[in-house]
């Protein structure tokens, strides 16, 4: 039985990856320190004989006993609300954490896939964004802690590939959504759905003309799975190229939730990208992959998940408490 380590296992994407690999017949070792994750996302796996969970911070030395065939590094805050409150931890998991896991992959002769992001493109001057675009990133802006952590993560991964011959894969993830997103993580889909469910007005930052492209989690996981078992070591965009403005999306959510909320506008955050749309030509060619679940269907599934959350999660404080981690 092949063994895979998935970091960030209790997070949104990490937990779905745990499910996929368990279902594919792997022995999965999940790792998380719960800085942004939620154990409820993997609680259903705790009695599964092919799943083991280790609570650990990957910025500290990572030790795994026995054989290890694959590593998927998905540990990182991924929401502006999170990484603006814990900027140093965000930088550390992208740098020290990645270094530790690359070292583990080298020691175990394991293939490693690292989760990069469309944020490496910054506020793009090229549209749509393909893998050969180098980006437009403000390294000293408030979002730079996430953008540059991911850019460094890609650089050190390629250095290990070139210098040590390590088998590496890099996925550049575009906006992904679905069940198990944290309702209070500040990203646009849970924010809009949470506001609609609570009877609040929907908040748009800026004039709403900025665009995003949303990929349903099942499609994202399929792309990541195919990339891991490909022979390609360079970054690959995985996302849904169907683009929509935030203003139009807000009205889609109002219609979906059958609510009567207004849309209100607030000041746009610094360095918020004006456009975000993946060029997935490479993924189509290399992986024979393209998203299959349209936004209408994906949003219905996601809304059903949020609608059935316990009331305490629906009305939970806007911000997660990071006090235990900020001291470190």
* Residues designated as active site: 146
H helices within 79-216, ranges in order? 80-85, 87-92, 98-108, 144-164, 188-197
C-alpha to C-alpha distances, 102 to 105, 144, 161, 202, 236, nearest whole angstrom: 5, 23, 9, 42, 19
Nearest to 92 by CA among 273, 325, 321, 270: 325
C-alpha to C-alpha distances, 319 to 4, 36, 289, nearest whole angstrom: 32, 11, 36
Q: What is the radius of gyration, based on Cα positions, of the chain?
A: 19
**Per DSSP, which regions of the chain are E strands?**
3-7, 27-32, 51-55, 70-73, 111-117, 168-173, 176-177, 202-205, 211-213, 215-216, 235-238, 243-245, 263-266
Cα–Cα distance, 257 to 304 (Å, whole number) = 10
Cα–Cα distance, 33 to 54 (Å, whole number) = 9
């Amino acid at each position: 039985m092949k063994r895979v380590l998935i970091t960030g296992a209790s997070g949104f994407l990490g937990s779905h990856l745990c499910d996929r690999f368990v279902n594919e017949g792997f022995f999965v070792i999940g790792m998380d320190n719960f800085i942004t994750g939620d154990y409820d996302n993997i609680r259903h796996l705790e009695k599964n004989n092919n799943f083991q969970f280790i609570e650990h911070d990957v910025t500290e030395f990572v030790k795994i006993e026995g054989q290890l065939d694959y590593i998927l590094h998905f540990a990182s805050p991924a929401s502006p609300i999170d990484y603006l409150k814990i900027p140093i931890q965000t930088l550390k998991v992208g740098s020290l954490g990645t270094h530790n896991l690359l070292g583990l992959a080298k020691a175990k002769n394991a293939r490693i896939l690292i989760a990069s992001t469309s944020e490496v493109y910054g506020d793009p001057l090229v549209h749509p964004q393909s893998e050969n675009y180098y980006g437009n990133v403000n390294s000293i802006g408030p979002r730079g802690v996430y953008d540059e952590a991911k850019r460094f993560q890609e650089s050190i991964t390629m250095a290990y590939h070139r210098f040590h011959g390590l088998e590496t894969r890099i996925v550049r993830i575009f906006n992904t959504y679905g069940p198990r997103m944290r309702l209070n993580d500040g990203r646009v889909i849970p924010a809009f759905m949470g506001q609609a469910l609570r009877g609040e007005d929907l908040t748009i930052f800026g004039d709403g003309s900025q665009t995003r492209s949303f990929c349903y989690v099942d499609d994202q996981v399929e792309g990541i799975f195919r990339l891991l078992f490909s022979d390609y070591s360079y970054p690959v965009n995985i996302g849904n190229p169907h683009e929509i403005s935030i203003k139009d999306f807000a009205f889609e959510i109002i219609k979906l939730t059958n609510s009567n909320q207004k849309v209100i506008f607030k000041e746009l955050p610094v360095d918020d990208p004006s456009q975000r749309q993946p060029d997935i030509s490479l993924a189509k060619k290399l992986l024979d992959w393209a998203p299959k679940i349209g936004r209408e269907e994906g949003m219905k599934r996601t809304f059903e998940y949020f609608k059935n959350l316990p009331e305490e999660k629906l009305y939970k404080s806007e911000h997660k408490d990071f006090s235990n981690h900020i001291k470190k």
